[in-house]
Amino acid sequence: MVCARAALGPRALLALAWGVLLFTAPAGAQRGRKKVVHVLEGESGSVVVQTAPGQVVSHRGGTIVLPCRYHYEAAAHGHDGVRLKWTKVVDPLAFTDVFVALGPQHRAFGSYRGRAELQGDGPGDASLVLRNVTLQDYGRYECEVTNELEDDAGMVKLDLEGVVFPYHPRGGRYKLTFVEAQRACAEQDGILASAEQLHAAWRDGLDWCNAGWLRDGSVQYPVNQPREPCGGLGGAGSAGTSGGANGGVRNYGYRHNADERYDAFCFTSNLPGRVFFLKPLRPVPFAGAARACAARGAAVAKVGQLFAAWKLQLLDRCTAGWLADGSARYPIVNPRARCGGRRPGVRSLGFPDATRRLFGVYCYRTPGAPDPAPGGWGWGWAGGGGWAGGARDPAAWTPLRV
């Protein structure tokens, strides 16, 4: 549930709290590992909320504790009748409910059901344990504590380990509205990156001379090697954050998200499964890529999955392969001659003609999925007959042992 935060007084907030339908949380739920953090203390009212400064960091599929504790300035107060509420900030004045607790009654909301619970580490602990972290969990959370007519709140920022990657579809550059950019990232196993994530990627060396949407509706692009077509050579008058002779993140500001069209900067995190390169007996057209991966208990990898495998699993392969969007790419961790330049990265050959350009394929296998051909299989035609220039129908292919 997403709602705008109205200027309610303490009595109104308390009345709303008692009107919320609550359910008992599952017993015996697994707790995350405890983390030692310093705290920031609010100063309003007799109840004081303490949260972690900076941010806490996790990854997709991980378990994290969002730290929050509270105490009273007057020792006479008890902890009975305290309402604890966690919300996620989705816009400057809009919040989505995550978790609420009043005494023994607890309730998680939406996608947080079954994943969120209180840590419960003694009186005054309002910390939230979040399991099976998703890409969508990234962002800022508010911990609010209400008792009688007093309340206080603190903020916790949840960051994710991962990688930012630029993206445009087969139709070409600057073709995506804001909503289309959101959808394009989701289709490639990602979300729109935040401005903070893009800035961190720029500091890590990302250099991309095409503007793209970010999750806050702004349009920016990172330049590490200043040049005239990419916002100038730096110095006086150069655009963007951290501009100058060393480049920076060029910023077009907030754009009209329904009419203007740009590329997208997507973000993805840790992979639960594995990306691998499959080289069949003969190179495959794009139409045969899915069958080639299916023969190994996998699916054609998405762009975000290849970037995550390159960045987080150190996948290094100097051979281009098909991906699920019809592009051909390959990941380089250790740059070397004839492998696309002197910097690490995921090289792109664009969107080749699916009927003529023939490559291997990058596949993604989910955790626990069996490999039907552990000894190695390729694709071809039983009975021989040769390649015949690729003229044979891929629909008639059968798996053959390599």
Helix ranges, 238-358 (H): 286-294, 303-312
C-beta atoms surrounding 341 within 10 Å: 10
Residue 356, pLDDT score: 76
Identify whether the C-beta of residue 257 lies closer than 8 Å to the C-beta of residue 177: yes
Sign of the alpha-carbon dihedral angle for 371, 373, 378, 379: negative
Residue 370, pLDDT score: 84
Q: What is the dihedral of CA 61, 63, 67, 68, to 10 degrees?
A: 90
The C-alpha atoms of residue 293 and residue 338 are separated, in whole angstroms, by 27
The C-alpha atoms of residue 140 and residue 82 are separated, in whole angstroms, by 23
The C-alpha atoms of residue 58 and residue 289 are separated, in whole angstroms, by 33
Residue 246, pLDDT score: 65
Identify whether the C-beta of residue 80 lies closer than 8 Å to the C-beta of residue 184: no
319-356 pLDDT, tens digit per residue, is 999 999 999 999 999 999 889 888 999 999 999 999 87
Identify whether the C-beta of residue 331 lies closer than 8 Å to the C-beta of residue 346: yes
Q: Beta partners for 259? A: none
- Residues of the chain below pLDDT 70: 1-45, 73-80, 233-246, 373-402
Q: pTM, whole model, 2 decimals?
A: 0.78
The C-alpha atoms of residue 118 and residue 130 are separated, in whole angstroms, by 9
Identify whether the C-beta of residue 278 lies closer than 8 Å to the C-beta of residue 292: yes
The C-alpha atoms of residue 222 and residue 218 are separated, in whole angstroms, by 13
What Å distances lie between residue 232 and 229, 238, 239, 246, 265, CA to CA?
6, 6, 8, 11, 21
Identify whether the C-beta of residue 54 lies closer than 8 Å to the C-beta of residue 156: no
Residue 389, pLDDT score: 35
Q: Which helix (H) or strand (E) holds 58?
A: strand 55-58
Q: What is the dihedral of CA 388, 394, 395, 401, to 10 degrees?
A: 90
Identify whether the C-beta of residue 126 lies closer than 8 Å to the C-beta of residue 118: yes
Cα of first residue to Cα of last residue in the chain, in angstroms, is: 53
| Residue 42: φ, ψ to 5° | -80, 170
Residue 210, pLDDT score: 94
| Residue 70: φ, ψ to 5° | -140, 155
Tokens 């996620």 belong to residue: 88
350-370 pLDDT, tens digit per residue, is 999 998 777 899 999 999 888
Distance of CA 183 to the CA centre of its chain: 13
- Two tokens at 15? 């009345």
Radius of gyration over every alpha carbon of the chain, rounded to an integer in angstroms: 25
Sign of the alpha-carbon dihedral angle for 284, 287, 292, 298: positive
